[in-house]
Amino acid sequence: MGQQKIRVAVVFGGRSTEHAVSCASAGLILSAIDRDRYEVLPIGIATDGRWVLTSGDPVRLALSAGSVPSVESVSVGDGEIVPRAGAVLQVSEPGAVPRDLGAVDVVLPLLHGAYGEDGTLQGLLEMTGTRYAGAGVFASAAGMDKEYMKLLMSARGLPVGRYVVVRDRDWRSVAERKRVLDEIAELGWPVFVKPARGGSSIGITRVSGFGELEPAIEAAREHDPKVLVEAAVDGIEVECAVLEGLDGAPPEASVPGQVVVDPGSSFYDFEAKYLASATTMRIPAPVPSEAAAEIRRLACAAFDAISCEGLARVDFFYTPAGKILVNEINTMPGMTPASGFPMMWAASGLPLPQLVDRIIQTALRKRPGLR
Ligand SMILES: Nc1ncnc2c1ncn2[C@@H]1O[C@H](COP(=O)(O)OP(=O)(O)O)[C@@H](O)[C@H]1O
Ligand SMILES: [Mg+2]
């Protein structure tokens, strides 16, 4: 008699601006997950927050210049999730979260950005005692907020660049706005203006002089009332993928890779990330071996600095002088065919089906709650 398969809810889409990216991540993972071991429930969260069962068709979930995938386009309606014995997620509001989501062995939240990668979904799963892959509530929230991410990195002695935080209250007060703008001018030009809790470069502007600053801050504020302004770092972008160690072992880092941005883009913006065919990953990154070792060490230290679990991708700048700076940590890195995380693990000897397996198995070994 064959054993009952492990039931995995792959949750994707979501309410954030990264809905389409999440669909593309799900498309890749759904095409690689081992169906002999896992029974997969492809659950989409529509942009309005509704949870629906989907076909999970990887072809329709692909992201390209000509097609922006959405949960809507693969939805097969709700109410079709076959219940199974076990803990059941109880919701009293109709049409919110499927009642039977709790009857899965583990949730794989392939969501990027707000309401998915920021601890909110993780909180919901904690409340319902559902096992899930990846970072918990705190690490998700800390990784999402670029201000606190940097504070935690600095507190752990990790190198980060110079930046100024523009809070909503600062921006609304004439005197505070002036103080903050003066502080920003001291960073030198260019600067990068970004929403504190954004992703996929959405809302980010490279600003080369004071005249462009206020419109860029306003643009970032469309996505988050808190904005970060950072001194531009001159250097190449190097990423490193991290996995939680097995059975309590320290985290493991992949071979680092360099993002080679499409020459038509001024930085690694949304277009360069997902649509430009000329953006590529160079793996291993062309840095001296001591620098690669240091990047791997820092990637694991960054993972631990926010108490991350499961997986993460840590992004760095490597300057012409050989300095390494942490740019950010992503607790649910992109998993699209153009994304560094799956590529760097493949180059490190962990092909995608095994990578997905490892992420799910790590989650299954933990108890829900204070895991
Ligand atoms: N301080 C900086 N110096 C140079 N380039 C930057 C800086 N901050 C951001 N960028 C560019 O913008 C991209 C997106 O910024 P990032 O902080 O990684 O935001 P996101 O979370 O949206 O990916 C980076 O990959 C890089 O190309
Ligand atoms: Mg980034």
Q: CB of 204 closer than 6 A to ligand 1? A: yes
Q: CB of 267 closer than 6 A to ligand 1? A: yes
Give the model's pLDDT for residue 101.
63
Per-residue pLDDT for 175 more than 60? yes
**What is the residue-wise DSSP string for 187-201?**
T-SSEEEEETT--TT
10 Å CB burial of residue 211 (0-12, 13-18, 19+) is exposed
Per-residue pLDDT for 1 more than 80? no
Per-residue pLDDT for 84 more than 70? no
Nearest protein CA to atom 25 of ligand 1, as residue: 268
> Which listed ligand is nearest to 201 at the C-alpha?
1
Per-residue pLDDT for 168 more than 90? yes
Q: CA 130 to CA 153: how far, in whole Å?
A: 30
Share of the chain above pLDDT 90, in %: 77
Q: CB of 131 closer than 6 A to ligand 1? A: no
More reliable by pLDDT, 103 or 247: 247
**Substitution candidate for ligand 1 out of 117, 201, 324 with most atoms within 8 A of CB:** 201
**Substitution candidate for ligand 1 out of 18, 200, 233, 268 with most atoms within 8 A of CB:** 268
Task: Provide the pLDDT confidence category of residue 196 given band limits of 50, 70 and 90.
Answer: very high
Q: CA 249 to CA 355: how far, in whole Å?
A: 17
* Dist. CA 201 → ligand 1 center (Å): 7
Give the model's pLDDT for residue 161.
98
- Residue 46 corresponds to which tokens in the numbers above? 């529509």
Q: Which atom of ligand 1 is nearest to the CA of 161?
A: 1
Give the model's pLDDT for residue 89.
44
The CA–CA distances, whole Å, from 62 to 106, 209, 285, 336 equal 24, 38, 27, 8
Give the model's pLDDT for residue 53.
86
Look at phi and psi of residue 82 and say left if phi exceeds 0, alpha if psi is from -120 to 50, else beta: beta
More reliable by pLDDT, 139 or 279: 139
Give the model's pLDDT for residue 99.
54
Q: CB of 200 closer than 6 A to ligand 1? A: yes
Q: CA 309 to CA 70: how far, in whole Å?
A: 28
Per-residue pLDDT for 95 more than 50? no
> Mapping DSSP to helix (H, G, I), strand (E, B) and coil, where does residue 289 land?
helix
* Dist. CA 65 → ligand 1 center (Å): 21
Per-residue pLDDT for 88 more than 60? no
Give the model's pLDDT for residue 112.
94
Q: CB of 279 closer than 6 A to ligand 1? A: no
* Dist. CA 27 → ligand 2 center (Å): 21
Q: CA 296 to CA 62: how far, in whole Å?
A: 31
Q: Answer whether 228's CB lies under 8 Å from 165's CB.
A: yes
Give the model's pLDDT for residue 36.
96
For 243-295, write each residue's pLDDT tens digit. 999 999 999 999 999 999 988 898 999 998 888 888 899 999 999 999 999 99
Q: CA 298 to CA 302: how far, in whole Å?
A: 6
Q: Where are the alpha helices (DSSP H) in 67-199?
A: 120-127, 137-144, 146-155, 168-172, 174-185
Mean pLDDT along residues 156-163:
98
Q: Answer whether 24's CB lies under 8 Å from 336's CB.
A: yes
Per-residue pLDDT for 87 more than 60? no
Phi, psi of 325 (to 5 degrees): -125, 140
Q: Which atom of ligand 1 is nearest to the CA of 163?
A: 1
Per-residue pLDDT for 217 more than 70? yes
* Dist. CA 326 → ligand 1 center (Å): 11
Give the model's pLDDT for residue 239.
98
* Average pLDDT of the chain, as a whole number: 91
More reliable by pLDDT, 130 or 178: 178
Nearest protein CA to atom 27 of ligand 1, as residue: 268
Which of 89, 112, 150, 124 is closest to 25 using CA atoms?
A: 112
Of 105-114, 166-175, 311-320, 362-371, minimum mean pLDDT range: 362-371
Per-residue pLDDT for 107 more than 60? yes
Give the model's pLDDT for residue 127.
86
Give the model's pLDDT for residue 100.
59
Per-residue pLDDT for 368 more than 80? no
Q: CA 228 to CA 210: how far, in whole Å?
A: 15
> Mapping DSSP to helix (H, G, I), strand (E, B) and coil, where does residue 317 land?
strand
Task: Provide the pLDDT confidence category of residue 65 given band limits of 50, 70 and 90.
Answer: confident
- Whose structure tokens read 């990264």? 18
Give the model's pLDDT for residue 133.
97
For 24-57, write each residue's pLDDT tens digit. 999 999 999 999 999 999 999 999 888 888 999 9
* Per-position b or e across 40-77, b if 16+ CB within 10 A of its CB: bbbbbbbbeebbbbbebbbeebbbeeeeebbbbebbee
Nearest protein CA to atom 1 of ligand 1, as residue: 232
More reliable by pLDDT, 285 or 86: 285
Per-residue pLDDT for 90 more than 70? no
